[in-house]
Amino acid sequence: MIPWAIICALNGDINLGIAIIILLIIMSIVRQVLEPKLVSKNIGVHPIFTLIAMYTGFKIIGIIGLLIGPIVLIIVKNIFANLIDRGVFKTIFDKK
């Protein structure tokens, strides 16, 4: 959108160029604020853990890690939830 705004400004339509930049800023803010909440709501994980998984995936694998990180988080969460439901941790940590 930035090249579009620059081209509009250079062609003499400064108002459209400014409007495009403002729209870009609004879109960026909304995306940064709402995207983690929406993603976490759909997968059932807290937004901060989703962000951590996305960041970790990005640092380890790169761009593909942004998608793979939350998937790995969901898998790990389900594994531990199943183990807790079956009482595996309870039997491990029981003092007898």
Tell whether 50 and 9 lie within a shared domain.
no
**Residue 58, domain extent:** 44-96
Tell whether 92 and 67 lie within a shared domain.
yes
Tell whether 69 and 92 lie within a shared domain.
yes
List, run by run, the mean pLDDT of 10-residue segments along the chain (96 residues).
Answer: 91 92 90 73 77 90 88 87 72 61
Q: 3-state DSSP call for residue 67?
A: helix
Tell whether 71 and 28 lie within a shared domain.
no
Tell whether 15 and 58 lie within a shared domain.
no
CA angle, 65 then 49 then 32, to 5°: 75
* CA 24 to chain CA centroid, nearest Å: 19
Question: What secondary structure does DSSP assign to 10-59, as a single string?
Answer: HTT-HHHHHHHHHHHHHHHHHHHHHHHHHHHHHHTS-HHHHHHHHHHHHH
Residue with the two structure tokens 């983690």 = 36
Q: How many domains does the chain have?
A: 2
Q: Determine, yes or no, domain membership for 39.
A: no
pTM over 0.85: no
- Residue 32 φ/ψ, nearest 5 degrees: -70, -30
Q: Determine, yes or no, domain membership for 59.
A: yes
Per-residue model confidence (pLDDT) at position 34: 76
Per-residue model confidence (pLDDT) at position 50: 83
Q: Determine, yes or no, domain membership for 49.
A: yes
